[in-house]
Structure 1
Amino acid sequence: MTPRDASDAPDNRWSDLGRPPLNGTALRRALVREGGLWTDVRIVQRTGSTNTDLAGLVTRENADEGTVLVAEEQNAGRGRLDRRWTAPARSGLFFSVVLKPTGVPVERWGWLPLLTGVAVATALSRTAGVDTALKWPNDLLVTVDGEERKAGGILAERAGADAVVVGIGVNVTLGAAELPVPGAGSLLLAGATTTDRDTVLRTVLRSLEDWYGRWRAAAGDPAASGLQETYAAGSATLGRTVRAELPGGRSLVGEAVAVDGDGRLVIATEEGVQEPVGAGDVIHLRPA
């Protein structure tokens, strides 16, 4: 892939006045600075998956840490468990970033999707006025008409020996008739005070830079960096009765009581056993 900045392409600019294109020049001016995390912001009109494309850039060209790839439209976006993520062009934010957490033990890299969730939720609350909760391990939940809905997700994948590509998808202006599944939501439907994607993207990336910097400065220690406590405070999963669908076909039902130092969800069963879950699909069984 050779990414081409599509924000100024003459064949697409302002083709949908309700969903204007991102302004690549302004975003780079605002985000790329000496000594900052973000080193490049690339915008493409459409692609299959920004995670796949950016991972390719890492392995082929050793893309720098802080490279950001944004797609105005994804037609093969992926979530956890190879679930597909599709949305109309310019209706959301679909982007991936390269992180190279040198100095952080590899066993703590599992905190990166949770860290990203905290950063995104913080940014959406601050900028769009939308209270965003975190469903372990990587879903972003908003409230629409009193109902908990998924408005975004996060996917972190290793790329090469020293890099992680973190993909983020957020539904911004999807209307009710455009939702891919009944349980989906968007910032618009959640009553956002702004749906300007340039503003939201800038705030999300600045928040991610802040939290990533704190975490790295603490050598990835989730407690010392404040990440573990902040994640727990914003979790929609803790305190709920959940069912975890685990690898190998096993399921576990109980109360989600904690996120441990390794980022695993600790589930207390009726038998009095507390079992940490590091991978699997978690289903909320009752309202908070």
Structure 2
Amino acid sequence: MHRYGTVSSTMTLLHRLAAEGAGEGTAVVAEEQLAGRGSRGCAWHSPRGGLWLSLLLRPAAGTELLSLRVGLAAVETLQHLGPGLRLGLKWPNDLMLDDRKLGGILCEARWTGDAPAWVAIGVGINVRNPIPPDLSSVAIALADPLPALTPDAVLDALLPRLRALDASSSRLHDAELDRLALRDWLRGRRLAQPVEGYADGIGPEGALRVRRDDGTIAELRAGRLELAERSRSS
């Protein structure tokens, strides 16, 4: 494991290590990121007190499901650390606590032809870091319900699970679908975009199922979600 105080981005460092031949399971952890990044190129607020982790995998297949599998492992790990927490996984890559964002998953692959050379998995979890006042209505840290929990305690519990992930299948197994159904934060909530309707679970290929008002099912594999106002306030 490579540990740092302040870095620009753990993902950038991990990609560099991967290009130099680092093995599967190599991890980069920082106390603070100055240029952390989230999905769709968004900046990720990463001050001291949070868990900012990147992990190297070299899967032969199944890269399109890694975000869900990593997110599920993270939510289940946190549930073990705090059995009474109201945790969920918001498709495709957000960790939720009490209907606010607790963390996120970012997967970046590098390819050799049609095969993945490696995948860098980024995990950011708010643990003890302060939440900016302008984000307090939509974001939360684990310190709110679990003030004694430390980033290292979360890391020690989570990293072995991530290193043991089975990413060999390009479809979610029945057991994975059952576990996802228990943690599916979106299920039953109404979406306004990109398809209007109610979230109706996750399919075996990782697509979000949306039931339109006419009863037909749309399957989303990517895209930015927008909740309808009544679901935001539910």
Give the TM-score, by structure 2 length: 0.88
Structure 2 SS opposite 1:267: strand
CA distance in 2 between partners of 1:86 and 1:232 (Å)? 29
Tell me which residue corresponds to 1:113.
67
| 1:39-50 equivalences in 2 (<5 Å) | 41-50=1-10
Alignment match of 2:189 (pick from 240, 245, 249): 240
Structure 1 equivalent of residue 123 of structure 2:
168
What is the total number of aligned residue pairs between the two structures?
225
**How far off its partner does 1:270 sit?**
1.5
How far apart, in 2, do the equivalents of 1:86 and 1:72 lie? 12
**Contact 1:76–1:84 (8 Å) recurs in 2:** yes
Q: Which has the higher contact order (CA 8 A, sep 6+)?
A: 2
Q: Which residue of 2 aligns with 1:94?
A: 52
Structure 1 residues 43 and 179, CA gap change in structure 2 (3 angstroms): farther
Gaps of 5+ in 1: 1-40, 245-250
Counterpart pick for 1:200 among 134, 147, 154: 154
Q: Which amino acid aligns with 1:274?
A: I
The verdict on how the C-alpha distance between 1:243 and 1:53 changes in structure 2, with shifts beyond 3 A counting, is farther
Contact 2:126–2:140 (CA<8 Å) still a contact in 1? yes
| Compared CA separation, residues 152 and 114, structure 1 to 2 (3 A) | same
Task: Measure how far apart 1:260 and its partner are.
Answer: 1.3
* Residues 74/266 of structure 1: CA separation in 2 closer, same or farther (3 Å cut): same
- Percent identity at matched positions? 30
Separation in structure 2 between the aligned mates of residue 84 and residue 179 of structure 1, nearest angstrom: 17
Equivalent position to 2:179, from 230, 235, 239: 230
Larger Rg over CA atoms: 1
Tell me the equivalent position of 2:218. Answer: 275
Q: CA deviation at 1:175?
A: 4.0
Q: Which amino acid aligns with 1:67?
A: T
2:29 pairs, out of 70, 90, 95, with 70
Can you give the 5+ residue segments of structure 2 that lack an aligned partner in the other structure? Answer: none
Shift of 1:221: 3.7
Q: TM-score, normalised by structure 1?
A: 0.73
Cα separation, 2, equivalents of 1:180 and 1:205:
31
Cα 1:156–1:240 change in 2 (3 A) is: same
> Which letter does structure 1 place at the counterpart of 2:192?
R
| 3-state DSSP of counterpart to 2:180 | helix
Deviation per CA, 1:160-194: give whole Å up to 9, x if none: 43211110000001345x456231111012x1264
